[in-house]
Amino acid sequence: MTKKICAIWNGLSPAWRFAFGGYFVTRMALTLWSLAVYSIFPMAMQNLDLFGEPVLSVFYLRTSERYVYSRQVNDTVLSFHVADSNHAADNQTGSIWSLREGHAAQGKYSGSVLQASTHSVEEIFPYVGMKPAKNIVFALWQRFDANWYLKIAMRGYGNDGSTVYFPVYPMLIRILIFFMDPVLAATLVSNLALIGVLALFYRLTATIADDAVARRAVIYFLLFPTAFFLTAAYTESLFLFFTLASFLTASRGGWGWSALWGALAALTRLQGVLVIVSLAYMLWRGMRDLPLRTKVLRSAPLFMIPIATVSFLAFTNLSLLNAYQGILHARFVLPWDNILAALSLLFSGKGSIIDALNLVFTLGLIAMMFAVWRKLPFEYTLYSLLMLTAPMLRMTTTQPLVSMMRYALVIFPMFIVFAVWGKNGWVNRAIVYVSLLLQMYLSAQLILWGWVG
């Protein structure tokens, strides 16, 4: 049996061997880290200010119990810190509060009661009707958008904002939930897609550079500060799988398959439709000397990509726009308006570490566009610019540049550039150490219900 496994392993291409190895190490490391966070912080607690209301949010990781209180007691706004696994203490008097009952057990405020917040637990800890996974390994990553995909997979779309989430990922989850737990099904889809992403990314990079650069590109990709989303129940892995497959088949002249993969990318995320720009450039670049009629005929399969997006929007009666503006409190702006709003938020003193990181990442990505343009074929510049610009056209009322750290994951050309630079030992160490530390911090924030993307 061992000999057969070794023979199968040795028969795999370097891309697939590196993909399986990289995935296994990443999956194990993130699982162990999430359990460490779970053991150190059995209770996640935040002092929030939501639209002018001081709010205390409490989440017990072991039981998934959720509580939301007003931090105002009489005429005083209190702030709290964790005292032990079941209690909090206010910073003003040191009184000990039982958070399950919502009252002070001892201290100056003994007998006082925390009033219910006007904001529901669902607003702060959105499970959208889904039950937390029974297996703690999966439950720790069941956060925010993951629950929306589970909801769509199990109950379909509704007039609740769910139409901002495109259908391919929920459809794949739907197929698997007949055989397994929904959270496990969602995680399995994204994890299988990730293995494919790593192999395709290795192959695509090796066509531009050498195997050493390809290996570094994959490693930097897995170490990126928000790469933990690749193994969670999010669409990053699936979207990248379809996108990379589209680029790779296009580079080999398989335009029918390239268009099909592109259409699936367009049905996975709204930005997927923009893949057509890079593909069209690649196709027309290779047909400069051909008659116009031939160019049009060969380009015809690419129309599957916008047709896929338009079909979904038509199916939902364009409710995506209403969901963005009404339920998600977002509006369409120019990219620099987002940047200026982020700067204003930070200079006002109201911004968080996440707001600062989103701004730093965005400015860094803008700078990276010049490096991608100088070092890679132009189709990668087109793709990178579009993937960077698209999410910057939307701004929420509470957080400019929202989720930019997560959206950066799909800009795969920048990892190729980093891998080229990584030949320098100092650059390599800087990328690895900074990325690893930030990923540990941001993944812990997500596990503790902190919004990081």
Tens of pLDDT along the chain (453 residues) come to: 777 878 888 888 999 999 999 999 999 999 999 999 999 998 999 999 988 899 999 999 999 999 999 999 998 999 999 999 889 999 999 999 999 999 999 999 999 999 999 999 999 999 999 999 999 999 999 999 999 999 999 999 998 889 999 999 999 999 999 999 999 999 999 999 999 999 999 999 999 999 999 999 999 999 999 999 999 999 999 999 999 999 999 999 999 999 999 999 999 999 999 999 999 999 988 887 777 777 778 889 999 999 999 999 999 988 887 777 766 678 889 999 999 999 999 999 989 999 999 999 999 999 999 999 999 999 999 999 999 999 999 998 778 999 999 999 999 999 999 999 999 999 999 999 999 999 999 999 999 999 999
Superfamily of domain 44-124 in CATH is Rieske [2Fe-2S] iron-sulphur domain (2.102.10.10)
CA 267, 268, 274, 280 torsion-angle sign: negative
As a whole number of angstroms, the distance between CA 411 and CA 136 comes to 31
Any idea of the CA torsion for 439, 442, 445, 451, to the nearest 10 degrees? -140
Q: C-alpha angle with apex 261: 258 to 265, nearest 5 degrees?
A: 130
As a whole number of angstroms, the distance between CA 180 and CA 171 comes to 15
- Domain residue ranges in the chain: 12-29+184-447, 44-124
As a whole number of angstroms, the distance between CA 263 and CA 157 comes to 20
Task: Tell me, yes or no, if the pTM score tops 0.75.
Answer: yes
